[in-house]
Structure 1
């Protein structure tokens, strides 16, 4: 793990946006098409605001979420809705969004279809993850119903996930997909997240799922 500490959050936003843009540009130099996997939530929003204005060949970039709540796009809790507003605008509006939600009562009802849409874009070229204070990443929550299967080396690319405190059912990229990404970045802020990251290194994987990528990741942090 590489750990990058920034003097403040403004510099973190600019520094991380620059690094992700550079990684995508390098991937585009080497490949006809590339994939960029991103988290939901509010923390990465300012990074996406900066990236959306960058002069990349966005029409050759496929964007896929790390995970999604099983809610329609117009729901305020939809990660897809957030990404459309914060990343897939301006220059980056030319990118292609790979869906992790489809109209159905439960994620299992459309899991096969969604996995089929994801498959051509693997392995991921550039991966940006977040991490919760409980040391979850994507929707790999400690105590989740399908966590052990999603962390296994033979896990399918996508799995449904339910966990106490997670709210709605989720759909998530699994550990093999995350670990296979060409470049991996993790964005965290605040003293509690830094302390959680430090604890994760000495905990079992089931208690700290973020550990599945820590060995290959560059962590970006500011207070």
Structure 2
């Protein structure tokens, strides 16, 4: 794990976008297609605004969420809606987006279908909660053991008691195996949570399962 600190969140957004752009250039220089999984929520949106303007071969990039609530893309809690609006714009509009939700499938059927399409990702941008969850790998979720298993499928279904919907998430195995890994966390409470996570079992702190060679970006 490597940690970079920034003076403020605006500087963090610029720095994270620059780091991701550099990684994408490296990946695109060595392979025909690149797959990127990114977090939803409010933290990544300013990063996406900057990254979307990068001069890259976006037509060779596939973008997906790291995890998604099992809701239609028109729902205000959809990660896909935010990612399309903030990242799939400008030059990056040429990228392919892989949605998770399908109206005619259950979450379990949706996860199984996604596993047939995606076996690995090349780059990730994750967030982390103060409960030390990442993606939809929540410590108390029904399904967390499967999500953390070393032989887990690419996608798993999570049922966090604190959340109203089932969620589809990339498994810890796939997230940890990405060639380029970024974690964006802001605030002292999350810095303390990350420090605690490094002393915990992954079931208590799922973020601990994906920290190998992770670049952590922190701002107050």
Q: What per-residue deviation string (whole Å, max 9, x for no partner) do you get for residues 123-174 of structure 1?
A: x211111001100001000011110111010101101110111221100000
Is 1:199 aligned to 2:196, yes or no? Answer: yes
Match of 1:65 in 2: 65
Is 1:154 aligned to 2:151, yes or no? Answer: yes
Deviation at 1:105, TM superposition (A): 5.9
So what's the TM-score if we normalise by structure 1?
0.96
Matches within 5 A, 1:113-128: 113-119=113-119, 122=120, 124-128=121-125
Number of residues of Structure 1 aligned to a counterpart in Structure 2: 220
Decide whether the 8 Å contact of 2:176 with 2:211 is kept in 1. no
Matches within 5 A, 1:1-223: 1-104=1-104, 106-119=106-119, 122=120, 124-223=121-220
Distance 1:80 1:12 in 2: 23
So what's the TM-score if we normalise by structure 2?
0.97
CA RMSD of aligned residues (A): 1.0
Decide whether the 8 Å contact of 1:104 with 1:110 is kept in 2. no
Distance 1:25 1:181 in 2: 15
Shifted more, 164-173 versus 22-31: the winner is 164-173
SS at match of 2:25: helix
Structure 1 gap ranges (5+): none
4+ runs of 1 displaced by more than 6 Å?
A: none
Deviation at 1:104, TM superposition (A): 3.4
Distance 2:5 2:181 in 1: 16
Distance 2:35 2:106 in 1: 26
Structure 2 gap ranges (5+): none
Q: What per-residue deviation string (whole Å, max 9, x for no partner) do you get for residues 80-125 of structure 1?
A: 0110100001110000011221113630132222222223xx2x21
Distance 2:115 2:103 in 1: 15
SS at match of 2:68: strand
